[in-house]
Amino acid sequence: MRYSRAEALRYLRAHTNDEAAGILVDTVFLKLRNEVQVRHILQKHACEILEDGVLLDCGVKFTSKDLAKHLAGCKEVLLLAATLGAKVDIAVRRLALESVSEGAAAQAVAATIIEGYCDEVQERVDTDLHQRPRFSPGYGDWDLSEQRKLFAILECEKKLGLTLTDGLMMAPSKSVTAVIGLSEEESCVWKKCLSCNNINCPYREVEE
């Protein structure tokens, strides 16, 4: 299981030199780690990049100019869904009831774990092509409602027990869906935070 104190502190909006906050997230990680039950689905699809979106070989079109720009030059994509499981949600709620600070830290730690797990899944992909950074519904101009298309293609409910609420929130909440471009070009570097229109996001990474 991959865990980064620095990433957890970023999600918590704490400084990396804040030792008390560091001890807090490390302590919460120890409380959460045995509740984690990671699972994922990964599918490869051929794709056609359009002006206003991306058309998959299964006939589904994702409508987003930002996604199309991000995947420019890609002929294939990976579709990913990953989750930490329902027990993590229960543990996070329990910690929040016991302590406001531990509840906030639990949210940050769980976010760090799921992102780290997605990184691990991608690292295990057997391909000679270069992987673009993950792009999820809600990034840039890709409407969150298109989450339903990913769920349908990947059969998330059937295979992972992962569902969508009426408000398009995932349950279990510590889950990720994303599109990953496969490209022969290694030089494509895309900064997801710099490409997103939500400039006031508290988790926005600052370019060094």
Residue 110 domain-assigned? yes
What CATH number did the domain enclosing 44 receive?
3.40.109.40
**Strands ordered across the beta sheet of 175-183:** 61-63, 53-56, 39-49, 76-83, 175-183, 130-131
For the cut 70, the answer to whether the pLDDT of residue 207 exceeds it is: no
pTM of the model: 0.88
206 occurs within a structural domain: no
In a domain, 203, yes or no: no
Per-residue buried b or exposed e for 57-90, using 16+ beta carbons within 10 Å of the residue's own CB: eeebebbbebbbebbeebebbbbbbbbbbbebbe
Let me know if residue 20 belongs to a domain: yes
Asked whether residue 51 is domain-assigned, the answer is yes
Interval 74-95 mean pLDDT? 98
Query: Cβ distance 190 to 132 under 8 Å?
Result: yes
> What per-residue confidence (pLDDT) applies to 202?
46
Identify the domain containing residue 75 by its residue range.
Answer: 5-195
Q: CA-CA-CA-CA torsion for 84, 86, 87, 89, nearest 10 degrees?
A: 90
- Count of domains observed in the chain: 1
- Tens digits of residue pLDDT in 136-179: 999 999 999 999 999 999 999 999 999 999 999 999 999 999 99
Task: Taking residues 72-80, report their average pLDDT.
Answer: 97
Residue 164 lies in a domain: yes
Q: Is 15 within a domain?
A: yes
Q: Do 176 and 156 touch, CB atoms closer than 8 A?
A: no
